[in-house]
Amino acid sequence: MIVVMKVKATAKEISDVIARIKSDGYEAHLSEGEERTIIGVVGESPTPLREENYATMDGVDKVVRISVPYKLASRQFHPSDSLVPLNGAQMGGNKVLVIAGPCSVESREQIIETACAVKEAGATALRGGAFKPRTSPYSFQGHGEKGLQWMAEARERTGLPVVTEVMDPALVPLVCQYADVLQIGARNMQNFALLNAVGESQHTILLKRGMSSTVEDLLMSAEYILAHGNKRVMLCERGIRTFEKATRNTFDLNAIPVLKALTHLPVLADPSHAVGLWEYVESVSRSAVAAGADGLIIEVHPKPDEALSDGRQSLKPDRFKSLMQQVRRVAEAVDRTA
């Protein structure tokens, strides 16, 4: 941490800051410039350094944090890639893995039909929502446990593991009974009660980036799960909110190589939400793989114009098959498989 003093900070103000640094158990290194004094805070101590408290002291202009605040998620302390097992393969390994399925589980037939189709096209896992976070209380909210049962049946048929969202800490045990991977949706990325609850399970977690969360916020939320002892965490970029209105969200492609540099956790992309219009999902999928994504999660629906949610961004099975072929070619161009 660095404390930057104001241009007119008094000697008393400077010595107060130094005294506090020492009393917190750290060392203070002074750089006295023409214009102002800068104080480097170094060393280790059991007392946490709260930047805000220093920022509030008289004579302090600003406080600059130096260390990354996420230790468990950081590649700095864990240089090699974490591999998360999925259906006999490994997310984070050389093969790009694709999770596919409908936004919502709507019926037994729909989920089984979709599961068969995405399996045939080469998907590694099946997605589907039984508990749906909907902006409107009047929209379809999901079939709940019945939806989970249908997904489990689809798994039996196809062998595809089930990825599904959990929204309430109290429902984590129930969802764990049926699902292989628990998804934390964008709206719940900073639902800390939920992060704690899934951190205590030993299920694999797919953590989606919040729509106004920075890359660092995402890593801090992963840190919650890791700090509770669950190491099977996969991150997912799914588009952020910006002023652009031509697409549902703005896909932050940059976040993919940045995350791969900052963390050892696998990084996925969700092109369906990132762009929100099915006609662009293939392009965005190819780009995510070209940029280094370890996996994709794609919405597929047999009849998008009858979908109870997200029909506008869902691919028909045929288009998904074509997407898989395109993704494979791009994966090869970056020395991976898919």
Question: Which parts of 47-86 interact with its own copies (CB under 8 A)?
Answer: 48, 50, 52-57, 64, 66-67, 69-70, 76
* DSSP of 25-54: T-EEEEEE-SS-EEEEEES--SS---HHHH
Q: Of residues 216, 229, 318, 337, which one binds its own copies by CB under 8 A?
A: 216
Q: At its nearest, how many Å lie between its own copies and the CB of residue 177? A: 18
Nearer to its own copies, 16 or 113 (CB): 16
Other C-beta atoms lying within 10 Å of the C-beta of residue 214: 13
Closest CA to 119 of 321, 331, 328: 321
Q: At its nearest, how many Å lie between its own copies and the CB of residue 8? A: 9
* Residue 43 binding its own copies, by CB under 8 A: yes
Selected range binding its own copies among 85-93, 156-164, 200-208, 254-262, rule: CB under 8 A: 254-262
Q: State the residue for tokens 């020395």.
A: 335
* Residue 229 binding its own copies, by CB under 8 A: no
Look up residue 51 and give its two tokens.
């930047």
Selected range binding its own copies among 88-96, 148-156, 157-165, 299-307, rule: CB under 8 A: 299-307
* Residue 14 binding its own copies, by CB under 8 A: no
Other C-beta atoms lying within 10 Å of the C-beta of residue 108: 16
How far apart CA 226 and CA 311 sit, in angstroms, is 34
Other C-beta atoms lying within 10 Å of the C-beta of residue 177: 11
* Strand 60-64 with 2-5, pairing: antiparallel
Q: Of residues 14, 167, 172, 267, which one binds its own copies by CB under 8 A?
A: 167
* Residue 253 binding its own copies, by CB under 8 A: yes
Q: State the residue for tokens 């209105």.
A: 245
Question: Quick one: DSSP state of residue 181?
Answer: E
* Residue 220 binding its own copies, by CB under 8 A: yes
Which helix (DSSP H) or strand (DSSP E) does residue 207 occupy? strand 204-208
Q: Is 185 exposed, middle or buried (0-12, 13-18, 19+ CB in 10 A)?
A: buried
The CA-to-CA distance between both ends of the chain, in Å, stands at: 43
**262 within 8 A of 74, measured Cβ to Cβ:** yes
Selected range binding its own copies among 38-46, 106-114, 144-152, 174-182, rule: CB under 8 A: 38-46
* Residue 310 binding its own copies, by CB under 8 A: yes
Q: Of residues 25, 212, 229, 318, which one binds its own copies by CB under 8 A?
A: 212
Q: Of residues 125, 296, 300, 330, which one binds its own copies by CB under 8 A?
A: 330
* Residue 19 binding its own copies, by CB under 8 A: no
What's the chain's Rg over C-alpha atoms? 23
Looking at residues 94 to 133 of the shown chain, list those that interact with its own copies (rule: CB under 8 A): 133
Selected range binding its own copies among 94-102, 110-118, 148-156, 327-335, rule: CB under 8 A: 327-335
Nearer to its own copies, 29 or 321 (CB): 29
Closest CA to 259 of 203, 216, 195: 216
Nearer to its own copies, 43 or 159 (CB): 43
Site string (269-288) toward its own copies, x via CB under 8 A: -----xx--xxx--xx-xxx
Selected range binding its own copies among 88-96, 107-115, 190-198, 200-208, rule: CB under 8 A: 190-198
